[in-house]
Amino acid sequence: MRVLLTGGTGFVGLPVAHRVLRAGCELLAIVRPGRDTRVLRDLGVTVLSQDMQDSEALTQVLGSAEPDLCLHLAWYVVPGRYPSALDNLDSVAASAGLLRALSRTSCRRLVFVGSSAEYAPSDDCLTEQSAIEPRTLYTACKTAVALMTTQVAARCGWTAATARVFNIYGPREPESRLVPSVISSLLAGRQVQLTSGAQVRDFLHVEDVADALWTVATSELTGGVNIASGTPTTVGAVATEIACQLGRADLLQFGAVPTRSSDAASVCAGRGRLHEELRWMPRFDLGSGLSHTIDWWKREIRERTSAGSSQS
Amino acid sequence: MRVLLTGGTGFVGLPVAHRVLRAGCELLAIVRPGRDTRVLRDLGVTVLSQDMQDSEALTQVLGSAEPDLCLHLAWYVVPGRYPSALDNLDSVAASAGLLRALSRTSCRRLVFVGSSAEYAPSDDCLTEQSAIEPRTLYTACKTAVALMTTQVAARCGWTAATARVFNIYGPREPESRLVPSVISSLLAGRQVQLTSGAQVRDFLHVEDVADALWTVATSELTGGVNIASGTPTTVGAVATEIACQLGRADLLQFGAVPTRSSDAASVCAGRGRLHEELRWMPRFDLGSGLSHTIDWWKREIRERTSAGSSQS
């Protein structure tokens, strides 16, 4: 099977690339010109360097690619800025260009990656039946592309799913995010200022997210599919687990930072279609997943330090 | 007030241009390169010839324009083809480019033109509270842009409304559509094959549509606003009214063509926000609006005939 991937250099995209290659598939990745693609090339991925907003040029590039399946992950994801950034509009335009170009290929299945934040706020666990109600530019644009994807698929005779991903952590996560910032602070012996930590969330290790996305991609599921562990936890429990594994619970300062009003009290997932219909199980639980992530950061920091020393 | 219009050469756009100019506003129109814009230039409209998908170039073009208000009508509308055409994706990409470029201007209000077909099918009259549930690529793309518009407006401090238009008729309507095809057939003495004609619809004369859009644009309404007469009628009643005015009811053959399964039994509008909140009233009822349209077609046919004779 020939698989086309967008966003393959990203936090989730690279583990997806690994997962697709482990399945023995041929992998092509559309990457924006200027991105560093060595890691993909080294894995044996065919890199197609092309701006997706230029649908005509993309059609040319995909002309000989003839993918069977497309995993569309590419999106504007700068931490802190992405919820209201106008760059989300470019991600919609790029998605429109991709859909248009794909319509002229042999592609027969598409999985688009959406977000749990597309759902209306709810104190109950979310399922695929929960109401979609985008409240930010990011989520409006994600829902926009999900709507477009569904109808292009109907028009072109594809099947399509929108995978709505909940909280993700793991190697290569941007350092300003919760898990890496707690890990790196505690490893450096710095205190960590946190909110109350009471926010309920669903955390999944990025390699499990990649495996879940591949499971959806190779299934026949259509429509919305939540990508989550199905086991609610709290932000506080995640920070505490990291601190306990590092023996530095003394450095956590819960309540030092006010919880933002835009931060929902609960965004958790029930056992959704991934579990019930595809019988998928994550490889990592929170403890083993955070342990794996801590080990990765320890190696990363060592490598950075030695790179720094060898340069000096 | 300086007004920016997209789609200004179209069936609805040109009457909107007339309405804006009648209000004494300065009007700028973004028109795709290659379109015939003489009619706009003759009215005194400043034509900006630019592909909206190229957001950077559009930003340059709008740099000195500094509009106060934007009416966004431009869309792919080829009769028969538009519901499932992939060109709808280009209209989304163009809308994304427009929103991005507008965010860098002084624009403070935007009215996007959506469609009554975005609503879930219902036997009841539709209101702005009815569920949005796009079922075609056209309506999915319209809803996609409505979602984007709402959130870009929130991000940029604009107010924005999505005007969902029901059935429109009047001068310059594409000839393959119901009203002009019945008029031209009956004027030529040809029989007209129709469905049962039982489909319930809401018809509004295009000049009333333009006036209603302008009323919404100059109001402070945000969110969805239906553009409709609020008086349900049937497709059969429209054809019969035309035939009676032309004295050729004998040429109508109801039931000669099967009703398409995709043709909803009822798409009608209750008295919505346009009537209740803005106290808007149409100028034409169905009788006077069709009479005006028949007169236009009679002149049009005479002009074509004399142009044909003078050429031969």
pLDDT-above-90 percentage for chain A: 93
- Name residue, tokens 């499990």: A208
The DSSP output letter for A278 is T
Range of weakest confidence among B59-63, B100-104, B159-163? B59-63
User: How many separate helices (H) and strands (E) can be counted in chain A?
Assistant: 10, 14
Least Cα distance to A282 among A223, A194, A202, A221 occurs for: A202
* CATH 3.40.190.10 is the classification of domain B2-168+203-227: no
Contact A148 B89 (CB under 8 A): yes
Q: What pLDDT score was predicted for residue A312? A: 54
- Determine the distance in angstroms separating the CA of A134 from the nearest CA of chain B, rounded to an integer: 8
CB proximity B187 to A under 8 Å: no
Q: How high is the mean pLDDT of chain A?
A: 96
What is the secondary structure of B207-249 as a DSSP string? HHHHHHHHHHHTS---EEEEES-S--EEHHHHHHHHHHHHT-G
Nearest CA in chain B to A135: B151
Question: Which chain B residue has its CA at the smallest distance from A155's CA?
Answer: B84
Closest to B95 measured CA to CA, from B39, B162, B157: B162
**What three-state secondary structure class fits A269?**
strand
Residue in chain B nearest A144 by alpha carbon = B144
d(CA B75, CA B148): 16
pLDDT > 60? residue B312: no
Please state which CATH number belongs to domain B170-201+231-269+286-311.
Answer: 3.90.25.10
Predicted TM-score (pTM) of the model is 0.95
Q: What is the CA radius of gyration of chain B?
A: 20
- HSE (CB half, 13 Å, CA atoms) of A86? 16
Pick from B53, B86, B134: CB nearest A93:
B53
> What does CATH list as the number for A2-168+205-227?
3.40.50.720
Size of interface A-B (CB pairs under 8 A): 98
Provide, rounded to the nearest whole percent, the portion of chain B with pLDDT above 70. Answer: 99
- Can you say whether the dihedral through the CA atoms of A251, A257, A260, A264 is positive or negative? positive
Burial of A200 (0-12, 13-18, 19+ CB in 10 A): middle
Buried b (16+ CB within 10 A) or exposed e, B58-75: bbebbeebebebbbbbbb
Query: How confident is the model over B82-102, as pLDDT tens digits?
Result: 999 999 999 999 999 999 999
Residue B107 has pLDDT above 90, yes or no: yes
Residues 6+ apart with CB under 8 A from A248: A186, A189
- A151 in contact with B at a CB cutoff of 8 Å? yes
| pLDDT value at residue B311 | 62
Is B48 in a helix, a strand, or coil? strand
Q: Which CATH superfamily is domain A170-201+231-268+284-303 in?
A: UDP-galactose 4-epimerase, domain 1 (3.90.25.10)
- Measured in angstroms, the CA of A274 and the nearest CA of chain B are apart by 24
Fill in the DSSP letter of residue A131. P
Give the Å distances, CA to CA, from B272 to A61, B81, B116, B268: 48, 29, 12, 11
Determine the residue among A92, A135, A138 to mutate to test chain B binding: the one whose Cβ has the most chain B Cβ atoms within 10 Å.
Answer: A92
Spatial separation of the C-alpha atoms in residues A214 and A218, rounded to whole Å:
6
Mean pLDDT computed over B266-283: 95
Identify the three-state secondary structure at position A293: helix
Rounded-to-integer distance, Cα A92 and Cα A74, Å: 10
Residue B296 CB neighbour total at 10 angstroms = 16
Instruction: Decide: helix, strand or coil at residue B291.
Output: helix
* Euclidean distance between CA atoms B45 and A280, whole angstroms: 60
Hey, is B36 helix, strand or coil? Answer: coil
Domain boundaries, chain B: 2-168+203-227, 170-201+231-269+286-311
Q: State the pLDDT confidence band at B242, using cuts at 50, 70 and 90.
A: very high
Does the fold of domain A170-201+231-268+284-303 match that of domain A2-168+205-227?
Answer: no
Query: How far is residue A6's CA from residue A113's CA, in Å, rounded to a whole number?
Result: 10
Q: Which residues of chain A have pLDDT under 70?
A: 311-312
Answer whether B86 sits within 8 Å of A93, measured CB to CB.
no
ipTM of the complex in this document: 0.94
Q: Is the separation of the CB atoms in B161 and B221 below 8 Å?
A: yes
| Nearest residue, CB atoms, A144 vs list B90, B144, B155 | B144
User: Residues 6 or more apart from B231 whose CB is under 8 A from it?
Assistant: B202, B285, B286
Give the pLDDT confidence score for residue A271 in this predicted structure.
86
Q: Which helix (H) or strand (E) holds B110?
A: strand B109-115
A165 near B CB under 8 A: no
Cα separation values, A150 from A141, A145, A161, B141, Å? 14, 9, 8, 11
Q: Which residues of B are less than 8 Å from A145 in CB distance?
A: 144
Q: Which residues of B touch A137 (CB under 8 A)?
A: 148, 151-152, 154-155
A26-31, strands of its sheet edge to edge: A46-49, A26-31, A2-6, A69-72, A109-115, A159-165, A223-227
Q: Given its phi and psi angles, is residue B226 left (phi above 0), alpha (psi -120 to 50 degrees) or beta?
A: beta
Separation CA A138–CA B102 (nearest Å): 18
- pLDDT given for residue A221 in this prediction: 98
Instruction: Quote the CA–CA distance of A4 and A7 in Å, as a whole number.
Output: 10
Q: How far apart are CA B155 and CA B153, in angstroms?
A: 5
